[in-house]
Structure 1
Amino acid sequence: MNEIVFLNGAYVEREKAGISPDDRGFIFADGIYEVTKFYHGKPFRMADHLERLKRSLKEIDIEYEHVSELEAISLTLLEKNNLLNIHAGVYWQISRGAHPRVHHFPCDIKPTLYAFAFPLPSAEEKLRKGIKVIVQEDIRWKRCDIKSVSLLPNTMLYNEAVKKGAGESILVRDGYVTEATHSGLFTVKNGVLITRPLSNLILPSITRKVVLEICAENQFLVEEKLFTEAELKEMDEVFICGTGSEILPVVEVDDVRIGNVEPGPVTRKIQQLFFEAVKKW
């Protein structure tokens, strides 16, 4: 069966979908995106993803009036691609639209919406065993709070991890850990969960928000504070989190073993509570 995508109001075969070469998403990476996970056709934290999408649109001054339609579009894509009965993701991308190339934001321009659905199974072996990561300098721009399609720095950093046989790159800016290339980051020291405070330098991760809610509901101690690369490597436990990552343990950082080189008890408990939350949602 040919894959069906959504482009500017129509469901079409992927091979027949096309955008203008003057689309500013193509020319300038002038756009934003979101990925929402559906567990057997049921979206997880859809409202949060839509709110973050609207925030990103506002931050780069794109006016898009049809955000409320994205959930229905997503479900239709899942149905048309026979993905309702598995774990799947839906990607939404909104660019400013097509316009002759200018360096300012043009007026009277219609945004481009592109969306597609894809299988997004849980990485069961990695969730069970954990992954190794490397540490790299954070070379991204200073508005990482915007979920921008301008991901070349992220992909360069992640590609370096792939080349070295690692599962992610954890990033450091001005001496302090920020996050991973496409995941949020938590550490554990003496039973206390530690994560960097929200700012323009990290994405307001939906899964990070879920973890903090889990911690509040279950009396886990949490500190939102800065920490260095050296401190990272001395943590008892480390895990990354995200829509695709879910709650993914880190057992090795730059060949330095974390804890007992297996997912720790706090990480395991957070994993358990996260998947319980998914089932209840």
Structure 2
Amino acid sequence: MDPNYFKSYDMCWGTLGTVRPFSNFHPDRDAMEIQAALEKKDAVTLVRILTNRSNAQRQLIAKTFEEITQRDLAAGLKKALSGELEALLLELLMPPLEYEAHRLQQAMAGLGTDEETLLEILCTQSGKQLQEISASYRHFYRKDLEKELKGETSGDFAKLIVALLNKENVAGDVQRDIKFLSASLNGKKAEAGPWIEILTSRDSDHLNKVLFGLEMESGQMVDQALEKKFTGDFQLGLKVLVQCIQNPDVYLAKRLMTKKTPIVQGIMVSHCEDDLLCIRAAYLKLTGMSLYSALQKQYKGDHLQAMLAICRSED
């Protein structure tokens, strides 16, 4: 544990992140230490520094490193490291918007599409954040994110994905929304339109009231109704969206339970400065084991130490 962790100059009780700004921060000193560590391929030092600085501080380190050495820090990490540790430290070096754009690009790269990673990002980010991620995607990949998503999806699922990317908060009437969703489920074939329109254009407080009212009226959980009435990717999309409306921390904790490294790293890097403490608490409640202990069972070596540093402590 970094001894300066609890002395962070802008830490306040109630913050929900695990990675916080380093209090005694000197980017030039960090850059020089990293330069020496890269030459020696000293992974311990690289992990200690890069996992104990906020993202904003890492950006300053990378800038200072380039000014001092005339070299790119990411390129240096690629040369000195390999495998999962290399991938993790490179992810930590990316600014947050670039990192989310990177995750979306990776979910669409190659054969097949990782639909649930697309959903995870689109369902847990605000409309404003998604606009910024779209701009970052255009900047780094020279492509329009909405067009890319349309090209990777089809049918009602594509409509849902695009609506999520362009989500907004429009005032609605709770009882009327319950009525529309209930009516959409009562025909021989359920209507997708009302679900897409309502669930992507209301705030979470409003939607939680709508979903609760729908469950009271129908006598069944929303998940059960969706399983009966919809199929395929669209069913998956609605189920993920409903879970993220009701409790995003529980949804993300369940994703961590897959134990797939890209998923685990993606969530931990994305959420370590915002709400990883909440996700950790949800994980403990779901599994009976702390995320810190679960990581120790799954990983080893320097990669494990980096993951534990981001997780930060036992629950």
Whether TM-score is above 0.5 comes out as: no
TM-score (norm 1): 0.25
TM-score (norm 2): 0.23
Larger RCO (CA under 8 A, 6+ residues apart)? 2
Higher helix share: 2
Higher strand share: 1
Q: Which has the larger radius of gyration?
A: 2
